[in-house]
Amino acid sequence: MLSVTNIVKRFGGVTALNGVDLELGQGEVLGLIGPNGSGKTTLVNCISGVLAIDEGAISLHDRSLSRASRTRRARAGIARTFQTPRLFAGLTVRENIAAGLRAAGNPRGSAARERVDSLLARFELQRLSRHVVASLPYGLQRRVEIARALAGNPQVLLLDEPAAGLNDSETAELKGVIEDIRHGQGCSIIVIDHDMSLIMGVSHRIQVLDEGEVIFMGDPSDAFRERRVVEAYLGTT
């Protein structure tokens, strides 16, 4: 469904991504992992349109998005969250989720209100709907950001370190949320995270980056049997 081919991204003289390929199937959860500085967030930024690519191609259902704006990609069906939640701090939970509808180009009115109400219920946020998000604990802010990303019914959801700052109980809840998203609306998901229990628990496949290159693609159970993956995380002996 999502195809990323031979992506190159440079920052001055530094090549952050060097010919990266990625494919994501319908309803699939792909874990994207690698040591710090390996290019994971840069790749997600390129897919979502935060960064322009220098070389390569990005397409969704064979529709090219390589040079598309962030707005056009959002309206095509790509949504994302960030390492640190980027919510509208002065707005309420309801207003933040409604903003996700508008970003994806969806109409306002009764249908929009019903969609927001549905997401509030789905993420158990009804009693907090009128609360300003800046007043919420970090774990709830994460939940609001995911709800906002889902407001426009995306086909692809990019989760950038969704477990960062969460405790074990909140991470366990997050696993359930990711499974619910996949089953509930058939959304395909890319998850970046350093929490291997989350990655191993939700991913159908894993892709490992190191120094801007793909060093492994395959079954989660096989990833840390690969010498290059072990060396990337632990160094050579």
In this predicted model, what pLDDT tens digit does every residue of 154-172 receive, in sequence order? 999 999 999 998 899 989 9
Q: Are residues 72 and 107 in the same domain?
A: no
Q: Are residues 158 and 71 in the same domain?
A: yes
Which of 111, 130, 153 corresponds to the end of one domain? 153
Q: Are residues 115 and 205 in the same domain?
A: no
List the Cα angle 163/197/211 in 5-degree steps. Answer: 75
Give residue 184's pLDDT band: very low, low, confident or very high (50, 70, 90): confident
Position 215 in a domain: yes
Tell me the CA distances in angstroms from 212 to 42, 65, 231, 232, one per residue in order.
9, 21, 15, 12
The predicted structure's pLDDT at residue 236: 61
Q: Are residues 135 and 110 in the same domain?
A: yes
Provide the residue range defining the domain that includes 194: 2-77+154-234
The predicted structure's pLDDT at residue 13: 92
List pLDDT tens digits, range 22-64.
999 999 999 999 999 999 999 999 999 999 999 999 999 999 9
Position 180 in a domain: yes
Whether the per-residue pLDDT at 106 is higher than 90: the answer is no
The predicted structure's pLDDT at residue 80: 95
Q: Tell me the mean pLDDT in the region 63-71.
A: 95
Identify the CATH number of the domain in which residue 33 sits.
Answer: 3.40.50.300
Q: Are residues 226 and 158 in the same domain?
A: yes
